[in-house]
Amino acid sequence: MKIKAVCPRDCYGGCSLILEVEEGRIIKVYGDKENRATEGLICRKGLEYIDRNYGRNRIKRH
Ligand code: SF4
């Protein structure tokens, strides 16, 4: 399934993202080409959301 989203960092008004999700898990993240401002481009931080979300060193509680 593909889900449209917006990067929460909101650097330049929020880049549009497409998240590909399988069995409740994000498997791919890329820019949405339908966004006329960003035309599918996202930065490295946006591309690394999978690692950020599922990374082994992610802090899950405090
Ligand atoms: S994808 Fe990158 S440039 Fe775009 S809003 Fe997110 S952090 Fe900022």
What confidence tens digit (pLDDT) does each residue in 44-54 have?
Answer: 999 999 998 99
User: According to CATH, what is the number of the domain 2-54?
Assistant: 2.20.25.90
* Cα 16 from Cα 18, distance rounded (Å): 7
Q: What is this structure's pTM?
A: 0.86
Whether pLDDT at 43 is above 80? yes
Q: Which element (helix H / strand E) includes 2?
A: strand 2-6
Q: What is the pLDDT of residue 12?
A: 74
Ligand 1, atom nearest to 13 Cα: 5
Q: pLDDT digit string (tens) for 1-39?
A: 999 999 998 787 689 999 999 999 999 999 999 999 889
How far apart, in Å, are the Cα atoms of 50 and each of 9, 26, 28, 36?
Answer: 15, 7, 7, 24
Write b or e for each residue in 37-50: b if 16 or more Cβ atoms lie within 10 A of its Cβ, otherwise e: ebeeebeeebeebe
So what's the pLDDT on residue 62? 86
Q: How many CB atoms sit inside 10 A of residue 15's CB?
A: 22
Q: Does ligand 1 lie within 6 Å of residue 28's CB atom? A: no
